[in-house]
Structure 1
Amino acid sequence: MDDWKAAIGKGMVPGALASVASAAVLALCSRKESGHVFAGTNAISHWLWGDKALRKNAPTWKYTLVGYGIHHASSLMWASLFEQAAATVLARKSVGTTLTASAAATAVACFVDYQLTPRRLRPGFEERVSRGSLALVYTAFGLGLAAGALINHRKDRA
Structure 2
Amino acid sequence: MALLAKAEGKGAARPLNATSHWLHGDKAAECDELDASHTWIGFATHYASAVFWALPFEFWRAKRRPRSTGALVRGACMTSAIAAAVDYGMTPKRLTPGWELVLSKRSLVMAYGVLALGLACGAKLAKAPVGRH
Q: Could you tell me the TM-score, scaled by structure 1's length?
A: 0.77
After the TM superposition, which residues 1-158 of structure 1 pair with which residues of structure 2 at under 5 Å, given as runs? Answer: 26-89=1-64, 91-155=65-129
**How far apart, in 2, do the equivalents of 1:35 and 1:154 lie?**
38
Task: Please state how far the C-alpha of 1:34 moved relative to its aligned partner.
Answer: 3.8
**How far apart, in 1, do the equivalents of 2:18 and 2:47 lie?**
14
Task: Please state how far the C-alpha of 1:153 moved relative to its aligned partner.
Answer: 3.0
Amino acid at match of 2:76: S
Structure with higher RCO (Cα < 8 A, 6+ apart): 1
Q: Would the aligned equivalents of 2:15 and 2:99 in 1 still touch at CA under 8 Å?
A: yes
**How far apart, in 2, do the equivalents of 1:81 and 1:112 lie?**
13
**How far apart, in 1, do the equivalents of 2:34 and 2:7 lie?**
16
In the alignment of these two chains, the number of paired residues is: 131
**How far apart, in 1, do the equivalents of 2:81 and 2:62 lie?**
18
Task: Please state how far the C-alpha of 1:93 moved relative to its aligned partner.
Answer: 4.3
**How far apart, in 2, do the equivalents of 1:94 and 1:153 lie?**
12
Overall identity of the aligned pairs, in %: 36
Question: Cα 1:133–1:102, aligned 2, differ >3 Å: closer, same or farther?
Answer: same
Q: Would the aligned equivalents of 2:26 and 2:101 in 1 still touch at CA under 8 Å?
A: no
Q: Could you tell me the TM-score, scaled by structure 2's length?
A: 0.91
Task: Please state how far the C-alpha of 1:123 moved relative to its aligned partner.
Answer: 0.4
SS of structure 1 residue aligned to 2:25: helix
SS of structure 2 residue aligned to 1:86: helix
**How far apart, in 1, do the equivalents of 2:107 and 2:20 lie?**
19
Q: Would the aligned equivalents of 1:34 and 1:128 in 2 still touch at CA under 8 Å?
A: no
Task: Please state how far the C-alpha of 1:82 moved relative to its aligned partner.
Answer: 1.0
